[in-house]
């Protein structure tokens, strides 16, 4: 059973560690900015980017030194890797020779385990369960899935407590399944929003209003999901058993999106399965 955790032993002091950012991405920049704000005594060493202007701008804010990969430097302390998933696996090749003898290497991937980094880097993965679409996203109270080496995990827990975030530990060998669940939750609904937007546009509704409508609908679903069981959070024709509506809208869906025709019926099937399963649970 995984539990959300807020506090652990304060064995390390963050103020005694040096932090580096390698790869100025949305998550690494946001994480470093959150850290700088919540722990003003934390010291940053280097900000490393392929683009020296990006390094300079973040380094200036953090009181760090900007670096590009051609510069001479050694990373000792906590290294926050902001690389995208496809690049993370090449981290030892890209920056391996600049990694010192006493590091804790943090990455933010939900898909890759910490073990894609060498053991000697004391790796840990800290995966934020949120859609980080800016370079200064607020991680307060957000839920992170973490796994990694003993030393890495200690630092990860301490960091997340300082950021007022929540975390739970996941099995290293279960990262891919764990990440699929996150993708289904946060990415796949956007596919349906895209189709819905096409329909709203066809009706001549203006872009600002469309955004408000999408936000109003999705926001209320998100709140209901937090407050209720999933089957109670569900509303709409399938939940009410309005099968004529389901059928007629299915035809309209196929007329508008013939290339995706099968997802309508499949989605209805999934929703029915949710309702059937919860009914059976109640009868037990």
- Per-residue binding letters, 100-129, with ligand NAP (x by CB under 6 A): --------xxx----------------xx-
Q: Is 25 in the site for ligand NAP (CB under 6 A)?
A: yes
Q: Is 152 in the site for ligand NAP (CB under 6 A)?
A: no
Q: Which of 161, 108, 12 is nearest to 117 (CA)?
A: 108
Are 242 and 268 within 8 A, CB to CB? no
Contact 105, 112 (CB under 8 A): no
Closest CA to 61 of 36, 24, 30: 36
Q: Does 131 bind ligand NAP (CB under 6 A)?
A: yes
Say whether residue 44 binds ligand NAP (CB under 6 A): no
Q: Should residue 252 be labelled a site residue for ligand NAP when binding is judged by CB under 6 A?
A: no
| Range in contact with ligand NAP (rule: CB under 6 A) among 7-15, 24-32, 97-105, 157-165 | 24-32
Residue 23 near ligand NAP by CB under 6 A: yes
Q: Please identify the residue of the shown chain whose CB is closest to the bound ligand NAP.
A: 25
Q: Which of residues 185-204 bind ligand NAP (CB under 6 A)?
A: none
Nearer to ligand NAP by Cβ, of 90 and 277: the residue is: 90
**Are the C-beta atoms of 168 and 156 separated by less than 8 Å?**
no
* Paired tokens of 145: 């899935």
Running DSSP on this structure, what letter comes out for residue 12? S
CB–CB of 151/104 below 8 Å?
A: yes
In the list 18, 39, 87, 225, the residue contacting ligand NAP (rule: CB under 6 A) is 87
Q: Tell whether residue 82 is a contact of ligand NAP (CB under 6 A).
A: yes
Which candidate, 100, 41, 101, places its Cα nearest to that of 73?
100
The string of DSSP letters for 21-71 reads EES--HHHHHHHHHHHHH-TT-EEEEEE-SSHHHHHHHHHHHT-EEE-TTS
Stretch that binds ligand NAP, among 18-26, 170-178, 252-260, 268-276 (CB under 6 A): 18-26
Is 62 a binder of ligand NAP (CB under 6 A)? no
Stretch that binds ligand NAP, among 19-27, 116-124, 163-171, 223-231 (CB under 6 A): 19-27
The 8-class DSSP code of residue 120 comes to G
- Interface with ligand NAP by CB under 6 A: which residues? 23-27, 49-51, 54, 82-85, 87-88, 94, 108-110, 127-128, 131-132
């Amino acid at each position: 059973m995984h539990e959300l955790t807020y506090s652990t032993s304060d064995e390390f002091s963050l103020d005694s560690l040096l932090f580096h950012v390698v790869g100025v991405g949305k998550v690494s920049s946001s994480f470093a900015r959150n850290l700088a704000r919540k722990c003003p005594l934390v010291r940053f060493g280097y900000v490393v980017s392929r683009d020296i202007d990006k390094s300079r701008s973040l380094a200036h804010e953090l009181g760090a030194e900007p670096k590009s990969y051609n510069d001479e430097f050694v990373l000792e302390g906590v290294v926050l890797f902001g690389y995208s998933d496809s690049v993370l696996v090449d981290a030892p090749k890209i920056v391996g020779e600049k990694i010192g003898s006493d590091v804790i290497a943090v990455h933010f991937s939900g898909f890759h385990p910490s073990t894609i980094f060498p053991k000697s880097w004391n790796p840990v993965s800290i995966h934020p369960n949120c859609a980080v679409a800016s370079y200064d996203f607020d991680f307060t109270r957000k839920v992170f899935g973490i796994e990694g080496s003993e030393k890495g995990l200690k630092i990860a827990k301490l960091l997340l407590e300082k950021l007022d975030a929540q975390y739970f530990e996941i099995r290293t060998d279960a990262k891919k399944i764990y990440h699929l669940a996150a993708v289904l939750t946060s990415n796949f609904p956007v596919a349906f929003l895209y189709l819905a937007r096409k329909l709203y546009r066809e009706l001549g509704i203006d872009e600002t209003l469309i955004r408000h409508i999408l936000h109003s609908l999705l926001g209320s679903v998100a709140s209901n999901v937090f407050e209720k069981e999933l089957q109670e959070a569900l509303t709409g024709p399938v939940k009410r058993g309005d099968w004529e509506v389901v059928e007629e809208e299915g035809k309209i869906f196929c007329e508008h999106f013939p290339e995706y025709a099968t997802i309508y019926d499949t989605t209805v099937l999934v929703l029915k399965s949710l309702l059937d399963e919860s009914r059976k649970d109640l009868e037990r």
